[in-house]
Every structure is written in C-alpha cells, then in structure tokens.
Amino acid sequence: MEEVACNLCGSDQWQVVQTVPVQRFGPPGEFNLVQCRDCGLRYLNPRPSPEEMADYYPAAYHEYRASIDKRVRHWYQEEKLRKVQVHSNGGRLLDVGCNDGLFLHLARQSGWEVQGVEIAESVAAHAREALGLDVFTGELTEANFPAQHFDVVTFWHVLEHLHDPMRELREARRILKPGGLLIVEVPNIASWQARLFGANWRALDTPRHLYHFSPDSLRAMLEQAGFTCFKIGYWARGHNMGGWNEPGMNLIFRLVPKSAGELGSPRAFGQGVARYLRYALFLPLHWSTFVVEQVAVLLGQGGNLSAFARKQEDADGNAPSTQ
C-alpha cells in the first residue's frame, strides 16, 4: 500500500469522505475515499501500489467485460466514434486503454489511422492477433510515440484507473498535433446516482478506480495538463444506466430469490417463475430510472462525464507552463 499527495495540486492535506469496500473482484477489504482540502479532487488514499493492483484485476475481471453481449458492445463503441467524428474530420487516432480493440476496429473501418495502448497483455494480444491492430502493451508514457503525431487521443473510462493521470495527460498533450482533440470519459462523482448510492455506487469500482472526478476537478486537471476544455457532456450509453441498473437488480434478486414461486412445485418451474417476476419488476424500474437519469443529464448531474479538449499552445508553440 502507498500513501500519495493530490495528483492535481500536489497538496498532502486531505480528509476522509467515506470508507468504501472492495467491489466485485479481488481480496476483501476497505479503502478510504479522501478529498483534497485544497482543490477538491477525490481519490483513494492509501491505495494499492502498481505491483499490488494485479490482485484486483484477475482473469475474471477481463472475462466479465468480454461477456457483455456483442451487439451491445458495438452500440457502445459506435456512440464513442460518433463523439469523435463530431469534433474531428479524421487522421491519426490513439485510444489509451483500448481493451480488445473493438473501438479502434470500428474507427479504422471509418477511415481513421489507428493505434492503441493497453496494459493488459491478454486483451492487447487479442486486438493484435484477431483484429490486426497496432497495440502497445504498457502505459502511454512507455510507448514513446513521436511528438505531435496524433490528431485525436481518447481515454474512455481509463483515467480513473491510472496511478498518475496527470503524467499520462501531459504525455497525451505532447504527442497530439497543435489543436489536436482529447476526449476523456470518467464517472461523475458529483452525480445524483453517486450521492444516492454512496459507498455502494457501482462506479466507485474500488480499488480499481483510484480517482473520482467532478466536472470541476476534471476540467482543472485537463487545464493543468495543457488543454482547453471546451465541452463537458453527461451521457454515455451503458455507463449512465449501469449506475442505476446494477443496484436495482441487486434489490430485485433479494426480493425475488431464485427459488421464488416454488410453493411445492417442481424446482425448475419455480426458477422459471422467479425469472419472470424479476423481469416484470426490472422493466418498470429501468424505465423510471431512465427518465430520472435523463433529467439528471439535462441538469449536469448525470453519472458520466465526457470531456472534450484541445491542446493548448503558447506564443512559442510550447505547452503552457504548469509551474
């Protein structure tokens, strides 16, 4: 375990906001979610070191992500590509944390020249071997891409996983062309769903999510790294509703156990009744929370943050000073 200063402002003055349990994968335990007293950034402290993080990314973690229905995954990646193409006309695109490369595959089909960075060798190898993609295994700062090489760099729900997000953002600025586009998506710690579910909010994903951003702290980090943030959106298909659906399903599974409806009937029939009751409860819950989340998005309280930024340049064509 390691204790760290604030990655945004460097302060070592923080206060504990809440204690949060390990979620889903990894050995059981609890971590402190703290808030910087000077700039407001929230992060885990103390936290697992990079070497210790492997315990929280077992094979089951990657299998769980791969188990999502292929059609649904395509919808998610197509939405990402539309976000890119609204603000850029094509060229070289780098996806940091590209997973198995589906987003890059779709971008390449749309005419982009693509490369990826992925720290997990198993999924990076799939991207290279199954899709023929150019994917570097490791961190962005280890890839040594040429300066001013890319038109677009994306971090789709990756920044919150990084031990030093500021360092990775500054590297992204270095390898972007002048005026290049940066897109960062992260969960919104200031959202309605985060406040409602507290330590049980799905997007805390403790301890894999080391940092938790609000609109203000994300904008401040981008500016500190040498970017001008020109837009923040609050919707990403899957991420917003996932924050509501998972706790909703957990509640339904408690209300309707697998054996519900048996009442002396054969077990298989009882399980079928339970399945029907669960779906019957889930549909109205899903659509009612969908309406709530749409209102939250309109009010800037949605569960997702999509930040769009351009590389800053000073009069000499260099990054603005961060000192």
pLDDT, position 321: 45
pLDDT, position 70: 76
DSSP class of 47:
B
Closest C-alpha to 210, from 16, 44, 58: 44
Closest C-alpha to 5, from 41, 53, 56, 54: 41
Domain assignments of the chain as residue spans, ordered by start? 70-234+301-311, 247-296
pLDDT, position 281: 74
pLDDT, position 132: 97
pLDDT, position 20: 95
pLDDT, position 262: 41
Peptide bond into 207 cis (omega under 30): yes
- 3 state SS of 195: helix
pLDDT, position 28: 92
pLDDT, position 72: 81
CB-CB contact of 305 with 218 (8 Å): yes
pLDDT, position 279: 66
Non-local (6+) Cβ contacts of 215 within 8 A are: 188, 190, 232, 300, 305
Taking only the tens of pLDDT, the chain with its 323 residues reads 999 999 999 999 999 999 999 988 889 999 999 999 999 999 999 999 999 999 998 877 777 666 666 788 888 999 999 999 999 999 999 999 999 999 999 999 999 999 999 999 989 999 999 999 999 999 999 999 999 999 999 999 999 999 999 999 999 999 999 999 999 999 999 999 999 999 889 899 999 999 999 999 999 999 999 999 999 999 997 788 877 777 766 666 666 765 544 434 444 444 566 666 766 777 777 788 889 899 999 999 999 999 999 998 764 445 554 43
pLDDT, position 268: 44
CATH classification number, 70-234+301-311, choose in 4.10.140.10, 3.30.200.20, 3.40.50.150, 3.40.50.1370: 3.40.50.150
pLDDT, position 323: 35
